[in-house]
Amino acid sequence: MIQINNIRKKYSDGTEALRGINAEMGKRITSVIGRNGAGKTTLMRILSTQLEPSSGEVIIDGLDVMKDTSEVRKKICSIPQEATPLGILTPMEHITLYLLARKFQYREARREAMNALDSLGILEYRDKPADTLSGGTKRKIFVAMAIASNADTVFLDEPTTGLDPVSRMEVWSSIRKLDGNLIVTTHYMEEAEELSQEVFMVESGLIIEKGEVGELLSRFNGKVRAESHSPMDGGIRISNTYVKYIPEPDAAEYIRMGCTVKKVTLDDVFILRGVSLES
């Protein structure tokens, strides 16, 4: 269980990245979603003891992140955004070294590393230098570290950014195999929707929406999304596209009018919330 109490972060250049975050994260997989620059990475870095907040408090399983830092670090695993393997080292060496940093014995570290690589289907690459591997496989090295860590709480910051769709699916399939509670940031809403039990939407350093996926989507009450490049009566303009939420039975009529009709997703929760914030 993670308890976040009024976390604020103002960087030395004056940027206010977090403006008072309050949350309770207790589900097995929690997604933190939001646009680039929304404050997701700052929040993750504070939760995982890498960054000091300007004010506020974070409690993980009863331990204060600022005061009980060494104890917290034993319980968590954090994979930073855009973490890149060292090209000259192999996957096996990366994971073993990471586990040694977590105080595993050498043999135990090797065994856990082998198991994790095997569970991700990349055991055959274990002794190849990382710079000879594909982007997806490189990313899986870090997921393997998280799997092998046996940490109570795992933080994954945008684990699929920059990957092709197949690699993204592979990485997400691997993430499902993780034990413990998982906090993931992403800006791919469909991924959050498919995987998470709970979602937090961050925008401009604030949580603007939270809840279970089904609960958030139920607000649309059976509606679907109609999109058009031409103005629509009652539509919301987003750049050069107009979006309108319509009852499902009306979909055929909108399609005849040249609109594209789609099922609502978390994108739509975000769009509606974002628009209401602007207004």
Contact between residue 161 and residue 191 where contact means Cβ atoms under 8 Å apart? no
Residue 47 CB, shortest distance to another protein, in Å, is 10
Of 17, 112, 137, 155, the one binding another protein by CB under 8 A: 155
d(CA 134, CA 163): 10
| Backbone dihedral angles phi then psi of residue 50, each to the nearest 5 degrees | -90, -20
Q: Is residue 70 close enough to count as binding another protein by CB under 8 A? A: yes
| Backbone dihedral angles phi then psi of residue 115, each to the nearest 5 degrees | -60, -45
Q: Residue 19 or residue 110: which is nearer to another protein going by CB?
A: 110
The 3-state DSSP class for residue 186 equals strand
Other Cβ atoms closer than 10 A to 81: 14
What's the one-letter identity of residue 42? Answer: T
Contact between residue 200 and residue 207 where contact means Cβ atoms under 8 Å apart? yes
Of 6, 15, 55, 69, the one binding another protein by CB under 8 A: 69
Part in contact with another protein (CB under 8 A); list of ranges 28-36, 89-97, 173-181, 192-200: 89-97
Q: Is residue 76 close enough to count as binding another protein by CB under 8 A? A: yes
Tell me the site size for another protein, rule CB under 8 A.
37
Part in contact with another protein (CB under 8 A); list of ranges 44-52, 117-125, 180-188, 205-213: 44-52
What's the one-letter identity of residue 217? Answer: L
Q: Residue 12 or residue 221: which is nearer to another protein going by CB?
A: 12
| Backbone dihedral angles phi then psi of residue 106, each to the nearest 5 degrees | -55, -50
The tokens describing 234, both together, are 């009652």
d(CA 44, CA 55): 15
Q: Residue 145 or residue 184: which is nearer to another protein going by CB?
A: 145
Q: Is residue 156 close enough to count as binding another protein by CB under 8 A? A: no
- Return the residues of window 92-131 that contact another protein according to CB under 8 A: 93, 96-98, 100-103, 106, 129
Residue 58 CB, shortest distance to another protein, in Å, is 13
Residue 74 CB, shortest distance to another protein, in Å, is 6
Q: Residue 52 or residue 212: which is nearer to another protein going by CB?
A: 52
Helical packing angle, 165-175 and 135-149, nearest 10°: 10
Q: Closest Cα partner for 257 from 276, 242, 236?
A: 242
Part in contact with another protein (CB under 8 A); list of ranges 85-93, 193-201, 202-210, 233-241: 85-93
Contact between residue 243 and residue 229 where contact means Cβ atoms under 8 Å apart? no
- Residues lying near another protein in the complex (CB under 8 A) are found at 12, 45, 48-52, 69-70, 73-74, 76-86, 88-89, 93, 96-98, 100-103, 106, 129, 142, 145, 155
